Amino acid sequence: MEALILDGRHLTLETLHQVVYDRRPVEIDPEALDLARKARQVLFDMAAEGHPVYGLNRGVGWNKDKEFDPDFFEQYNRNLINSHSLSVKPFCTVEEVRAMMCIRLNTALCGSTGISAEILTLYKEFLNRGIHPRVLRRGSIGEGDISTLSLIGQTMIGEGVVEYRGMTVPAIQALRAEGMEPAVMGPKDGLSIVSSNAQGESIVALVIYQTEQLLRESNAIFCLGLEGLNGGLQPLGRKVNALRGLPGQQTVAADCRRYLEGSYLSRPDPKRALQDPLSFRCGSAIGGTVLDALNFVKQYMEMQINATDDNPCIFADEGTTSVSQNFETTTLSLGVEMLASALAHLSKTICYRLTHLADPAFTGLSRFLTPVDVKVIAYCAIQKTFTSLDAENRMLANPSSMDFMAVAGNIEDHASNLPLAASKVLQILDNLRYMMGIELIHAAQAVDLRGRPALGRVTGPVFDAFRKEVPFLDADRNLSIDIEKAYRFIADGRLDAAIRQADTH
Amino acid sequence: MEALILDGRHLTLETLHQVVYDRRPVEIDPEALDLARKARQVLFDMAAEGHPVYGLNRGVGWNKDKEFDPDFFEQYNRNLINSHSLSVKPFCTVEEVRAMMCIRLNTALCGSTGISAEILTLYKEFLNRGIHPRVLRRGSIGEGDISTLSLIGQTMIGEGVVEYRGMTVPAIQALRAEGMEPAVMGPKDGLSIVSSNAQGESIVALVIYQTEQLLRESNAIFCLGLEGLNGGLQPLGRKVNALRGLPGQQTVAADCRRYLEGSYLSRPDPKRALQDPLSFRCGSAIGGTVLDALNFVKQYMEMQINATDDNPCIFADEGTTSVSQNFETTTLSLGVEMLASALAHLSKTICYRLTHLADPAFTGLSRFLTPVDVKVIAYCAIQKTFTSLDAENRMLANPSSMDFMAVAGNIEDHASNLPLAASKVLQILDNLRYMMGIELIHAAQAVDLRGRPALGRVTGPVFDAFRKEVPFLDADRNLSIDIEKAYRFIADGRLDAAIRQADTH
Amino acid sequence: MEALILDGRHLTLETLHQVVYDRRPVEIDPEALDLARKARQVLFDMAAEGHPVYGLNRGVGWNKDKEFDPDFFEQYNRNLINSHSLSVKPFCTVEEVRAMMCIRLNTALCGSTGISAEILTLYKEFLNRGIHPRVLRRGSIGEGDISTLSLIGQTMIGEGVVEYRGMTVPAIQALRAEGMEPAVMGPKDGLSIVSSNAQGESIVALVIYQTEQLLRESNAIFCLGLEGLNGGLQPLGRKVNALRGLPGQQTVAADCRRYLEGSYLSRPDPKRALQDPLSFRCGSAIGGTVLDALNFVKQYMEMQINATDDNPCIFADEGTTSVSQNFETTTLSLGVEMLASALAHLSKTICYRLTHLADPAFTGLSRFLTPVDVKVIAYCAIQKTFTSLDAENRMLANPSSMDFMAVAGNIEDHASNLPLAASKVLQILDNLRYMMGIELIHAAQAVDLRGRPALGRVTGPVFDAFRKEVPFLDADRNLSIDIEKAYRFIADGRLDAAIRQADTH
Amino acid sequence: MEALILDGRHLTLETLHQVVYDRRPVEIDPEALDLARKARQVLFDMAAEGHPVYGLNRGVGWNKDKEFDPDFFEQYNRNLINSHSLSVKPFCTVEEVRAMMCIRLNTALCGSTGISAEILTLYKEFLNRGIHPRVLRRGSIGEGDISTLSLIGQTMIGEGVVEYRGMTVPAIQALRAEGMEPAVMGPKDGLSIVSSNAQGESIVALVIYQTEQLLRESNAIFCLGLEGLNGGLQPLGRKVNALRGLPGQQTVAADCRRYLEGSYLSRPDPKRALQDPLSFRCGSAIGGTVLDALNFVKQYMEMQINATDDNPCIFADEGTTSVSQNFETTTLSLGVEMLASALAHLSKTICYRLTHLADPAFTGLSRFLTPVDVKVIAYCAIQKTFTSLDAENRMLANPSSMDFMAVAGNIEDHASNLPLAASKVLQILDNLRYMMGIELIHAAQAVDLRGRPALGRVTGPVFDAFRKEVPFLDADRNLSIDIEKAYRFIADGRLDAAIRQADTH
């Protein structure tokens, strides 16, 4: 894969995805590197002239009134890394660590940071050589992830621990294996490494990728469920949704129409209800709301991964600096929380779709989709499982962004809690995979009970792929095993692969 | 004021505002009226051919399987209005009622409703003649406000009660005073009146207008507080915010720079801190987040007040109808909840700014801004007041949109709770006015204790206007009276008038 | 009514109720008054010896390091009252004000306060003569209601406003009408008046009385609903509940058995279901949970209204004082929040009972309890109304007690938010009255549709009393009027009167 | 250890603790076994007479209308176990599984279950032989843990997987290793195994044990912190708390007095503040609130583990059965949620204590407890770590008990969500251990900076034990390592051991 050139301005969510998941190599744009060097020179010049600069010759946070000399620079930056190594378990995944290194490298190339070229190069090398610092995940309040990103700083100076070639080893060992030397921290390098929202944003990156995939999967399962229900296609129509004009709803409805091309649902059936319950009728509107919320998140995320979040902010062209509020990421955090709420709607909608699929009054099929009344209990109690997960999702959709308190001598008196907000969405997404697995189980069973009529262009192959994993329920069996299989079918990407393949053919 | 022509496509938040607050008259575009008539004919044709149409010759909700004859149309629609008159206290304000009538009239002109021209005309007449149905506010779950909008239907058939010329009178009395006749309900008229999100949207309209005003006021008070603090201007700079590129933050910072033009803060002062606490330093970023969230709400609101939310949706051009999901308004509801969260951040930020203004370590002024130590207690306990309001705001920022349960035989199994979501924001906004009043009291006291230095282009006139209401605190007095005065200064619009006047000069 | 003797130790919730609602006069126990005088003398002695005493010769809160002289005592206490008059609208009800005066008087008689006998007497006189200070309700964080109780202090010194003989008049006017003089504040009198949780506790007092009544009403309506359903009595049995042994559940089941004595439900019926849905089957368990939570609240409330919440706490017998944490009321606040959750369960249970009563599958009656299919729509859409109120109740059940922030120079860094917590319960209770009104409407309609079979000893008279207010629904009518009538039947106490009368006969 | 005799009536939390943690063997009381046999006979007799009995010859849930014959009993019960095996990851701990087996065994001995003696014996054998079924933890809504307890049933019939002698093996393998045979399910055995709240209660059991330990630890750390602060002892006094009379507060204050016996704090010091911030002054009141809430939980838990939660409930003495609501556990669930709120208060209090300990204005020590100003940054940024955990705790304190929806054909329309509620508390407790670890770090550093004055009877040994794990911070070092060490010192029980040992000497 061709190397991605990072210049502080052109990182997209798609290319970030490649760096994170596909280990696409990165290069630093020479002009951007020049600008970064220029920015650094500004700091040196100001310090030489005796100007107070936050984090350079003055302490950070409450210690902004503490002054120190250039000969203390290296020790100070080492101290800063140490004293800011403050996070707690669990550890971040490798994907998260790659995302945070790529994001921090890119934003440091905007020319407002003042970081040394040596450190910049280390980010690049770590990414390209697969040296992944072990970063503890919790501890940041999302107003600069200083307490977590510091653990990347540790490894750059040869301390701390990294994941390297599948093993957890001391950082120094990995550096040596690669013939590299630990960095020597210059002025403001410590602050430049830690003062960024890259950790919170790394979780947001995962949230975005996972939500995009999950929405595709959820739409396909919804469509298969509609076939299980023998439901109506009218609410998915092009024109009726165009008249409304809501962007997410239109896109999801179009996807669903494509997934259902050729389905028996397009043939008239006098037994079909005039209107279905809202969980089906409004299925693409609710999916559309997830998409609307996701697009808001993506919009702010793309701005942020291509802009400085440094304080002080250096104007390399002017040779000056400015105190800044650019580490503020509250809009993004609120967007993530809105996405959590949208997913909570999806969660509840899945629950209602599932209760309908088990209800003869709506399906005309057997109660709980049993193949044989009385003799087989089938999906009689499974509603407890998915509603219990829904209750957890409801809880995780409560906002946290405003639950901070003033720290550091009352000076740091605002926060966004971005890492917490984003982590909760990851948990919701995983719970949804279990719930969607159960939805798939029901939808497929209902389709089978109908004699497997003609299915849609995408739902057909999805059904077939799923049936290779979980067969028709003809007798009661340990359903926790079926649920786990259906979950894995989704979590391992096999469902998504089936959808994408069918959708492009 | 020139009449506003409504055609189902060009209603803006600004013109809606004029209809609601300034009682701008409205007219119906003749082409739109033609389209509405055509749409109605589609229904008649379908009924004549014996097609089942939801809400026309079939019942609504769970009763969609119940069939009835044309000779029952009038009685059925009357029954529908009666049986859907279901809401509870308190009553909506006149502004809300005007907004809901204007919105419903406009969306019914999109040509997908099938409502009679007579009813359309009644909306227009009610607006233009100031006949305001008394609508009970609670009872809708935001999936079509059928249980509240029905009370407008009551008045159209001469039942129910209206506000008319400042009095609450039976609807029939107001109609007669205007020489009007009650409407006779034709087919689907009942459903057309009630099946709309216009009530929830009416509260959103108020939320939008009030938030726009409140944000302007909050920014100005923040700027005056910055002058009370002797805080730094750098974080408000054009360039430093442009480098970040977040839309709301940039706009609010620009507003603040304008408000502070000419302030003593632009002159260097060795006593000024290198950096202020985040509640001040990031003041325009947090205001910017409120603006970002507001703009999201406005975007979806403008789409919705110019689009059909009918089900069934009539295609007047094709002579057909479609089952629709167009009454779904969940994205808007989530946007409103995001706005609530943004305002909760603002609320907490105000609290922290206020604790700093009372703290000599940050201001260099006296503790609690007392004019005389020991002899005057001043603002020693007032922090309990605004933090108690902040606790209430925190509570109101918890989401409700997903807290619904299936109704109507499990068929109506999704909801947005838009009216509740929006009502909570109105309460937050009102609480904020009290808090901002206290912020104003502190800011002005601090400015006075500094000897009233040169203030900004806008903050100066704001200070002067406020001092006419609440004088300098030279001795302890009943502060609940000062708080109420400051609140009224804001709630009655005098602060906003002072800001607008100064800002345009 | 015989005067109630207050001595700081024997105030019960029942006697408090009499003082609040029945205006039972109060007297001060002479021994308790002696003890109060002794306590005051301790303060004088300590001040004479030059000991620093919080709130006496030292400031309060952050100003605890500020010292002042005896000749400043009166002015200081007046300043304290003024500077602590800090609350905002709405106003407390007369009942709340009576409760807070009675509670504060009683706890000040524990002998640990140091308040003057003159002020103590004023509380008594205000209660007995019906002089009710106008107190603004919001502003306290429940860690001593200093910002609200101060408004009582205002009226004692002849400032502020009172409700007196049905009118709102300046306090001085009411005092003069009664031939009384304003008080002169002595040392620590200001602090003694404001430093108490009596305002929060006054709302808790109302919560307790209202919940007790509402639970009785809810149980009776549930029983009538069971008769509407033709439900099973077994789960209410004495023995089956005794084997479980949960206190609330047993009590409520016993009440229900009594309410249903003689009902047709005790006769076997082959059409009756083997088991009812949980909302019916577990009705007395859920009511029992409300009772369990209520009893927890009552237990802590009774302790608190008979104990000092003063700081400093005076040991009259030893002639010393102690710094105290006795104003802490967090357990009570948590109990109130638990009660809110219990009521949220009741709220949801009512919703489910109502959806079942409208469902032929459970009742064997007509859909939506219509008297004539198709011709009358009946209760087809009313489920939106009560579920929208349930969504509001769900929101109000979110806790607030921990949503505080440090105030007063970071010294007051804990709070209970008791007034907010209790206010939310009052709102839940009022919403429940609307919901229970709708439950009554359904239950009575179902009973009528069954031909009004033999009802229980209490449910029979309840049905008859209700039918005088809201007749059988034979045709569609404006249901918002019926709902308001049913609400008033409950809110005005007529339902409770009917229950009590029938239950004692 | 002597075997514990289980008889359905005398299981205490203490003896349950022994069975769970110390693997104390259990025996079944012969009389209780007789009663259980009698109860079973009642079922047989009723079935023989053709009476419909829920779960015996009628289906469960919505299938209560489905009837089947005795020759289908075994297959039906096997089907029931299979179709109810419905839970999802993660797996329960061995402690949880032991607790749930012990609780289910005891409640089944109340004589209302109808379970076979063979199955009862299996519970006993599993406990005594250390055969621990692998139970998936999530899936129950706390209204009978039917979807999780079923996995125990699997292993009893030789299916599923167990933890046995440290390994995860197929159940059949463990049974054979012990020379045991799988059970043959008789009538109602399946329902008897799954229809119990034992899984939720097993988590509550852990919550109780862990909270008791954590409160002891938290009190001791608070006391050491008070020594770090040089805070006042008066609020801990016996008399001042006795006058208030709140049970938890008195107990915790007494514990703290004991922990601090002999401390330098009992000697007067003119530099000591007149009053400390509430987070210190009210430390034992807030701990007391945790204790009050815990005692409420314990009270209901002890009732429930000694009472039937079966439906139907068999009256062995009368030879009859009753439909029951005895699986209702909502009061316990609300108690657990109240405990979560109490712990959220503790969490916030720890945060505030920590910010004070880093603040020279309160301690008179260096800023952030640095040993050398400027040269060592020390605990400058650590406040982000613990406040981020506090934000998570705040989120986890939101209630979930009422977030259920109707399942099983709308029949199961109430739930308590006990397992979710209790699981959240486990997470809060673990977060608190990290926060308390940081509190310990601060307290010890402050004590060292004071020159390690004479400490209390318990705080002294605690300090010494801790200093063996984490030495004085004399230079900046990777603090995430210190935090993990402090956490392990608490989580592994070494702190508690130190406290207990010192407290008893």
pLDDT in tens, B141-150: 999 999 999 9
The alpha carbon of D392 is separated from its chain's Cα centroid by a whole number of angstroms, namely 19
* Angstroms from C90 CA to nearest CA on chain B: 11
Residues of B in contact with C351 (CB under 8 A): 405
| pTM of structure | 0.98
> What stretches of D165-277 show up as alpha helix (H) in DSSP?
171-177, 189-194, 198-229, 238-244, 247-259
pLDDT above 90: residue B203:
yes
Residue C267 domain flag: yes
From D115, D185, D135, D140, select the one nearest D327 (Cα to Cα). D140
Please state, in angstroms and rounded to a whole number, the distance separating the CA atoms of residues C82 and C77: 9
Q: B-side interface with D, Cβ within 8 Å? A: 398, 405-406, 410
CA-nearest residue of chain D to A194?
D381
> How much is the mean pLDDT over chain D?
96
C-alpha distance from C212 to closest chain A C-alpha (Å): 30
Contact C366, C353 (CB under 8 A): no
**Residue B317 maps to a domain:** no
Which chain D residue's Cα is nearest to A361? D409
B58 chain-A contacts, CB cut-off 8 A? 274
Integer Cα distance of A61 and A52 in angstroms: 14
Which one, of D13, D149, D134, lies nearest residue D81 by Cα? Answer: D149
Q: How many residues does chain A have?
A: 505
Rounded to the nearest angstrom, the minimum Cα separation between A179 and chain D is 25
Rounded to an integer, what distance in angstroms lies between the CA atom of residue D203 and that of residue D206?
5
* B80 Cα to chain A: minimum distance (Å): 19
Q: Which of B184-193, B213-222, D91-100, D294-303 has the weakest average pLDDT?
A: B184-193
- Which residues of B are less than 8 Å from C487 in CB distance? 88
Residues A391 and A476 in one domain: yes
d(CA B486, CA B467): 10
Q: Which domain holds residue B279?
A: 204-302+344-504
CA distance A220 to chain B (A): 18
Judge: D345–C330 Cβ closer than 8 Å, yes or no: yes
Q: How far is CA D499 from CA B454, C150, D460, in A?
A: 62, 45, 10
Q: Interhelix angle for B13-21 vs B283-304, to 10°?
A: 80
Q: What is the pLDDT of residues C300-334, one digit of tens each?
A: 999 999 999 999 999 999 999 999 999 999 999 99
pLDDT, one tens digit per residue, over C360-386 is: 999 999 999 999 998 999 999 999 999
CA-nearest residue of chain A to D59?
Answer: A374
Q: What is the pLDDT of residue A52?
A: 83
Q: Chains near D, with 3+ CB pairs < 8 A?
A: A, B, C
pLDDT for D69: 80
Each residue's pLDDT tens digit, A257-272: 999 999 999 999 999 9
Res C143 pLDDT > 90:
yes
What percent of chain D lies above the pLDDT cut of 90? 92
Q: Which two tokens mark A503?
A: 């959708």
Which residue type sits at C250? Answer: Q
Question: What average pLDDT score do residues C208-220 get?
Answer: 98
- In whole angstroms, give the CA distance from residue B498 to residue B502: 6
- Phi, then psi, of C27 in degrees rounded to 5: -130, 160
Contact partners for chain B, using 3 or more CB pairs closer than 8 A, are A, C, D
User: Taking CB atoms and an 8 Å limit, are D85 and A479 in contact across chains?
Assistant: yes
Chosen for mutation from B348, B355, B405, B413 (greatest number of chain D CBs closer than 10 Å) is B405
pLDDT bucket at C485, cuts 50 / 70 / 90: very high
- What are the DSSP calls for A465-496, one per residue? HHHTTS----S---HHHHHHHHHHHHHTTHHH
Q: Is B407 helix (H, G, I), strand (E, B) or coil?
A: strand
- Whether the per-residue pLDDT at B268 is higher than 80: the answer is yes
Phi and psi, residue B456, nearest 5°: -75, 170
Mutate: best of D385, D388, D420, partner A, most A CBs <10 A: D388
Residues of C in contact with B382 (CB under 8 A): 86, 147
Q: Which residues contact A268 (CB under 8 A, 6 or more apart)?
A: none
Per the CB < 8 Å rule, is B159 touching C478? Answer: yes
Contact of C397 with C428, CB cutoff 8 Å: yes
Rounded Cα distance between A63 and A60, Å, is 5
* Residues of chain C neighbouring D317 (CB-CB closer than 8 A): none
Residue B331 lies in a domain: no
Contact A477 D374 (CB under 8 A): no
Q: Which residue is listed with tokens 């599984």?
A: D97
Q: Say how many residues make up chain C.
A: 505
| Euclidean distance between the first and the last CA atom of chain A, given in angstroms as a whole number | 25
Residues A191 and A250 placed together within one structural domain of the fold: no
Cβ–Cβ of B324/A359 closer than 8 Å? no
Give tens-digit pLDDT for C20-74.
Answer: 999 999 999 999 999 999 999 999 898 888 888 887 888 877 787 888 787 888 8
- β partners of residue B6: B28
User: What is the model's pLDDT at position C21?
Assistant: 97
Nearest to D202, CA basis, from D457, D422, D442, D460: D422
Cβ-defined contact of A384 to D86 (cutoff 8 Å):
yes
Looking at the structure, do residues B185 and B259 belong to the same domain, yes or no?
A: no
Structure tokens at D460: 């002294």
Given the structure tokens 């004070």, which residue do they identify?
D356
3-state secondary structure of C131: strand
Distance CA A471, CA A469 (A): 7
Last residue within a domain, chosen from A196, A225, A247: A196
Predicted local distance difference test score (pLDDT) of residue C51: 86
* Touching partners of C (3+ C-beta pairs < 8 Å): A, B, D
Q: What's the average model confidence in pLDDT over A315-340?
A: 96
Residues of B with Cβ-Cβ distance to C417 under 8 angstroms = 388, 391
Q: Is pLDDT above 80 for C358?
A: yes
State phi, psi for A259 to the nearest 5 degrees.
Answer: -60, -30
Residue B438 lies in a domain: yes
Write down the pLDDT at residue B67.
83
Q: What is the mean pLDDT of residues B297-305?
A: 98
pLDDT grade, residue D48 (50/70/90)? confident
Picking from A52, A246, A274, the nearest residue to B58 by CB comes out as: A274
Reported as a pLDDT band with limits 50, 70 and 90, residue A389 is: very high
**Dihedral pair phi/psi, residue A398, rounded to 5°:** -70, 140
**What number of C-beta contacts closer than 8 Å exist between A and B?**
255
Q: Is residue D322 part of a domain?
A: no
Determine whether the interchain pair C307/D245 forms a contact, defined as Cβ–Cβ distance below 8 Å.
yes
pLDDT at residue C462 greater than cutoff 80:
yes
| Torsions phi, psi for C316 (to 5 deg) | -60, -35
Nearest to B423 by CA among B111, B140, B178: B140
Q: Do D375 and D419 fall into the same domain?
A: yes
Contacts of A248 in chain B (CB under 8 A): 331
Determine the pLDDT at residue D328.
98
Q: D196, D214, D246: which is the final residue of a domain?
A: D196
Q: Nearest CA to D136 among D187, D188, D206, D199? A: D199
C156 and C297 housed in the same domain: no
List chain D residues with CB under 8 Å of B410: 410
A293 and A152 fall within a common domain = no
Q: Is D86's CB within 8 Å of A479's CB?
A: yes
Indicate yes or no: CB of B405 within 8 angstroms of CB of D410: no
Tell me if A81 sits within 8 A of A157, measured CB to CB: yes
Domain-embedded: residue B328: no
Tokens of B345: 């951040």
- Mean predicted confidence (pLDDT) in C207-226: 98
Q: Name the pairing type of β-strands B320-322 and C4-6.
A: unpaired
Q: CA C145, CA C153: separation in Å to the nearest integer?
A: 12
| C-alpha torsion angle, residues A433, A438, A439, A443 (rounded to 10) | 140
For residues C163 and C19, membership in a common domain is answered with: yes
Is pLDDT of D505 > 80? no
A66, A83, A420 member nearest D391 (Cβ): A420
Q: Which helix (DSSP H) or strand (DSSP E) does residue D360 occupy?
A: helix D360-363
Of the listed ranges C25-34, C482-491, D46-55, D371-380, the one predicted with least confidence: D46-55
- By the 8 A CB rule, do B306 and B9 touch? yes
- DSSP classification of residue B40: H
User: Residue C23 pairs with which residues in a beta bridge?
Assistant: none
Q: How far does B225 lie from chain D, in Å, by closest CA?
A: 25
CA distance C4 to C27: 6
List b or e across D98-107, with b for residues whose CB sees 16 or more CB atoms inside 10 angstroms: bbbbbbbbbb
Average pLDDT over residues C237-265: 98
- The DSSP line for D284-328 is HHHHHHHHHHHHHHHHHHHHHTTS---SSEEETTTTEEE---TT-
A476 contact residues in D (CB cutoff 8 A): 78-80, 82-83
Task: For residue D341, list chain C residues with Cβ-Cβ distance below 8 A.
Answer: 334, 337, 399, 401-402
CB atoms C349 and D414 under 8 Å: yes
Q: Who contacts D320 (Cβ-Cβ below 8 Å, separation ≥6)?
A: D42, D314
Q: How far apart, in whole angstroms, are the C-alpha atoms of residue D140 and residue D138?
A: 6
Least confident interval from A460-474, B61-75, C262-276, D392-406: B61-75
Q: What is the pLDDT of residue C56?
A: 80
**A486 pLDDT higher than 80:** yes
Q: Above 80 in pLDDT, residue B61?
A: no
For residue B298, give every residue at least 6 positions away whose Cβ sits within 8 Å of its Cβ, in sequence order, or none: B13, B208
Per the CB < 8 A criterion, the answer to whether C312 and C264 are in contact is no
Q: A: neighbours with 3+ CB pairs under 8 Å?
A: B, C, D
Contact between C358 and C368 under an 8 Å Cβ cutoff? The reply is yes
d(CA B4, CA B19): 8
Angle of CA points D206, D211, D214, to nearest 5° = 125
Q: Give A381→chain D minimum CA distance, Å.
A: 6
Interval A455-462 mean pLDDT: 98
- Residue C352 and residue C245 share a domain: yes
Of B234, B303, B402, the CB nearest to A348: B402
As beta bridge partners, residue C27 has: C5
Shortest CA distance from D382: residue in chain A = A86
Which of B496, B18, B426 is closest to B206 using CA atoms?
B426
Cα(A217)–Cα(A215) distance, rounded to whole angstroms? Answer: 5
Tell me: do B33 and B96 sit in the same domain. Answer: yes
The DSSP bridge pattern shows strands A320-322 and D161-164 to be unpaired
Note whether D78 and D85 are within 8 A (CB).
no
Are A227 and A172 contained in the same domain?
Answer: no
Taking residues B66-91, report their average pLDDT.
91
**Average of pLDDT values for A109-134?**
97
The pLDDT tens digits of the residues spanning D327-370 come to 999 999 999 999 999 999 999 999 999 999 999 999 999 999 99
Q: Taking CB atoms and an 8 Å limit, are B405 and D405 in contact across chains?
A: yes
Name the interface residues of A facing C (CB cutoff 8 Å). 398, 405-406, 410
- D126 and D240 inside one domain: no
Of C240, C278, C330, the CB nearest to D326: C240
Q: Specify the CATH number for the domain of residue A178.
A: 1.10.275.10
Q: Which of B65, B413, B416 to mutate to test the interface with A (most CBs of A within 10 A)?
A: B413
- D308 and C243: CB-CB below 8 Å? yes
Q: How many helices (H) and strands (E) does chain A have?
A: 20, 9
Residues in CB range of D229: below 8 A, 6 or more apart: D276, D280, D356, D357, D362, D363, D446
For position D70, what pLDDT does the model report?
79
Tokens describing residue D299: 């009270």
Same domain, A154 and A11: yes
Q: Which SS3 state, helix, strand or coil, does residue B161 take?
A: strand
State residue D64's pLDDT score: 78
Does the structure show a pLDDT above 80 at A387? yes
CATH at B433: 1.20.200.10
Q: Is B368 left (phi over 0), alpha (psi -120 to 50) or beta?
A: left
Q: Which of A83, A357, A418 to mutate against chain D (most D CBs within 10 Å)? A: A83
In chain B, the number of structural domains is 2
Query: In this structure, what are the phi and psi dihedrals at residue D320, rounded to the nearest 5 degrees?
Result: -130, 175
Instruction: Determine the pLDDT at residue B71.
Output: 83
Of the candidates C330, C335, C504, the one whose C-alpha atom is nearest the C-alpha of residue C417 is C330
Q: What is the mean pLDDT of residues B225-247?
A: 98
Overall average pLDDT of the B443-450 stretch: 98
C interface test, pick of B141, B377, B402, B485 with most C CB neighbours within 10 Å = B377
CB pairs under 8 A between C and D: 257
Chain A residue with Cα closest to B286:
A330
Q: Which of C180, C196, C212 is the last residue of a domain?
A: C196
State which amino acid sits at residue B310.
D
Q: How far is CA B334 from the centre of its chain?
A: 14
The confidence band for D276, taking pLDDT boundaries of 50, 70 and 90, is very high
Cis peptide before C371 (omega within 30 of 0): no
